[in-house]
Amino acid sequence: MSTTLRETQTKSVCWLEDVDLSDIGLVGGKNASLGELIKLDGIKVPNGFAITTEGFKAFTKPLTEQIRAHIDIVRRDGYRDVGLLEQTSRKMRALIESQEFDEELRTDIATAFGCLDSLRNVAVRSSATAEDLPEASFAGQQDTFLNVSSYEDLLNKIKKCFSSLYTARAMSYRHEMGIVEEEVLISVGVQEMVRADWHGVSGVMFTVDTETGNENLILITPHRGLGEAIVQGEVKPDEVYVLRHSLQVIQNPKGLLDDAEFSDLAGQALAIERHYNEQYDRRIYMDIEWAKDGETEEIFILQARPETVHSRKVSLKRYYFLDEREDFELLTRGRPVGMKIGQGVAAVVKSVSQIDSVQEGQVLVTEMTTPDWEPIMRKVSAIVTDQGGRTCHAAIVAREMDIPCVVGTEIGTKAITTGDEVTVSCVDGEHGTVFRGLRHFDVEEVNLDNIPETRTKIMLNIGSPEKALAAARLPQDGVGLARLEFIIASHIGQHPLYLLKIGKEDFFVEKLSAGISRIAGAFYPKQVIFRFSDFKSNEYANLKGGKDFEPVEKNPMIGWRGASRYYDDRYREAFKLECLAVRNVIDGFKLDNISVMVPFVRRPLEAEKVRRIIDDEGIKANVYMMCEIPSNVILAREFLQYFDGYSIGSNDLTQTTLGLDRDSALVSHLYDERDEAVKTLIANVIETCKDMGKSVGLCGQAPSDFPDFTEFLVKAGIDKISVTPDVAVKTRLLVAEIEANM
């Protein structure tokens, strides 16, 4: 800082670059954090100054007795009475805003304001002493004003920031957090504006996934214009994911910034996180606001605060599972917030003036919340909004309050009527759903400190990339089965040969790569085994353009599927696209935790042909084979010459051993993985794999459904069992008990 600027420093005004986290009492959490960031290499922070808490105390000194009297009213009975709290708040704010600055403080502010770039407007932000701390965020509690241009307007906005210390929402929040009113002071930060509103981009980024707590992917939510629109729920921002370990961008739908810029932002986020971890001497994730100036194209960090939900060390964890057997009417869907399920009677509220009508335990349905809604948000069982994305106000507060919330439904207030019984589910991947009626759901409570280690690895079956982030937070040892056909069906929807025909094979590879990297990234560095596509011909035909390339088979279940396709001249080029996507993710995204698996290999000659293609396509990974027909057991030694191990598919192995169609209701009563013939084959193949030093696991449905089958597998010496996420915890506990008694 120049000598001229230093001379402007007073007890009431100081420059941001002269403060750090030790000065929270002087400049509040937000300003102290900005001062800390300025000192970090590679982090750009807009120039600015702070009106200190000493300045605030000097400004409000003539009002001390009146403010204290109002606080006593609130403390006595205002927290329970929302109307009284609002009324008292209005009186306190009017009192402060009518107060005039003394000449000394006016002069100090004018001198500092004159040192800023005269061509830029300023942002005026509140910074309370109990704000942006690891224990409490106070998101949106105090006021912020952008594009302030004149000195007189600056003074007016500073007074409004001062008075926002006593909004009803802020006082209610402090009461809930056990913070004493008299101990809280406020500072105000004044910074040169970053012109994101003029052809610029702004957003928020988190060094942890906001819903699941998965730290492997950094979430960045950009949009064109000022960041306030995101928090206020006026826009649905884009969602960009960056891998923590490699800073590779794996999801950039709209390209508001290029991948290199997002990678650089993620790198800055991690540098900030490391610095805060050192400062607080514990693991803390970060919530960071940023903006790209539309004139200079420079990227600035505007704010950094500790993330307050997943940074807490929690031993007791609750997992929610919706009963999928029930068929309920879907009313609306949006973005999920909080991995929970809530239900109750809906209260559709269009205005904050109506919040007194909301009863405890109801489901709040509204267009969008603001900080003024917070006193009632604590009482509801769930929240549904028409507007907003995962970093809007409703999402931030609901996440901190541990309330399930679905934002951005667009039609929630129209689709739901006051008095409707509804279920709000936030446990189904990227979609939050609202159903009519009270659906049954299960809650599994787990003490994470008591999860035992097991010799047998407990892995997961993962169907879609959307569910990977949440599933990776379960106690698990990786993914034993991730099906590429699920990604193809839900994210591509077109037959690969059709895309090759029309010259859009790059689209197939790009989308498949994104899905693969999302799953592998979520579980990194644990092993994730991707099975190459195993559609049957009738399922392939249902993809766009598929009917022109698929035969009509009378029994597709045992027809042209799996390995028999991969080396066939009629399909080989499509299989190579899958190989290319896998290779791209391993090499380009540096996700070396990926393994691949070949399904339905009927003869050793097929194994040899397919393995040669995989090697020729440059995939450097472990390659496994599904063991799902009797020939795989009988000729295991021949098959395993070409693979690193077996994964037993108990569903198909049962079907082919017993000679029945598992899709036929007529013989479904005969289908049982615990049949002695099936178990004998499984025991034999486990023994063979052990003898050959090959890995052996099982990824069928049976361990998820039958504890006695799990016991059989463990006692037979299987290396890993892959189950559905809903039974991951109970399977680990069961396996630990079995191993302890062996």
CA distance 246 to 244: 6
CB atoms within 10 A of CB 399: 23
Contact in structure between 639 and 601 (CB atoms under 8 Å): yes
- Give the type of residue at 59: F
CA distance 64 to 43: 40
Q: Strand pairing of 457-462 and 479-483?
A: parallel
Contact in structure between 205 and 220 (CB atoms under 8 Å): yes
Question: Per DSSP, which regions of 93-161 are E strands?
Answer: 122-128, 144-148
Residue 462, classed as helix, strand or coil, is strand
CA 702, 708, 714, 716 dihedral sign is: negative
SS percent in the chain: helix, strand, coil, step 5:
45, 20, 35
CA distance 695 to 697: 7
- CA 534 to chain centroid, in Å, comes to 29
Q: What is the largest CA-CA distance in the chain?
A: 94
CA dihedral 9, 13, 19, 22 (to 10 degrees): 120
Contact in structure between 381 and 361 (CB atoms under 8 Å): yes
393 counts as catalytic? yes
CA distance 23 to 51: 13
Cis upstream peptide for 525 (omega within 30°) = yes
Q: Where are the alpha helices (DSSP H) in 19-134?
A: 24-38, 53-60, 64-73, 82-97, 103-114
- Structure tokens that stand for 250 in this block: 């794996």
Q: Where are the alpha helices (DSSP H) in 236-373?
A: 259-280
CA distance 436 to 430: 20
Q: What angle, rounded to 10 degrees, do the helices at 728-740 and 707-716 form?
A: 50
Q: Give one word for 529, left, alpha or beta, with left for phi > 0 and alpha for psi -120 to 50.
A: beta
161 counts as catalytic? no
| Residues 507-529 as b or e (16 or more Cβ within 10 Å = b) | ebbebbbbbbbbbbbbbbebbbb
Contact in structure between 513 and 594 (CB atoms under 8 Å): no
CA distance 373 to 357: 12
- CA 732 to chain centroid, in Å, comes to 25
CA distance 590 to 500: 27
End-to-end CA distance of the chain: 70
Query: How would DSSP label each residue in 281-306?
Result: TS---EEEEEEE-TTT--EEEEEEEE
- Structure tokens that stand for 16 in this block: 């941001």
- Structure tokens that stand for 360 in this block: 């405890």
CA distance 479 to 266: 26
Catalytic residue among 393, 426, 579, 689: 393
Count of helices and strands (H, E) across the chain: 28, 28
Contact in structure between 135 and 284 (CB atoms under 8 Å): no
Q: How far is CA 288 from CA 150, 156, 483, in A?
A: 28, 28, 35
User: Which residues are marked as active site?
Assistant: 393, 699
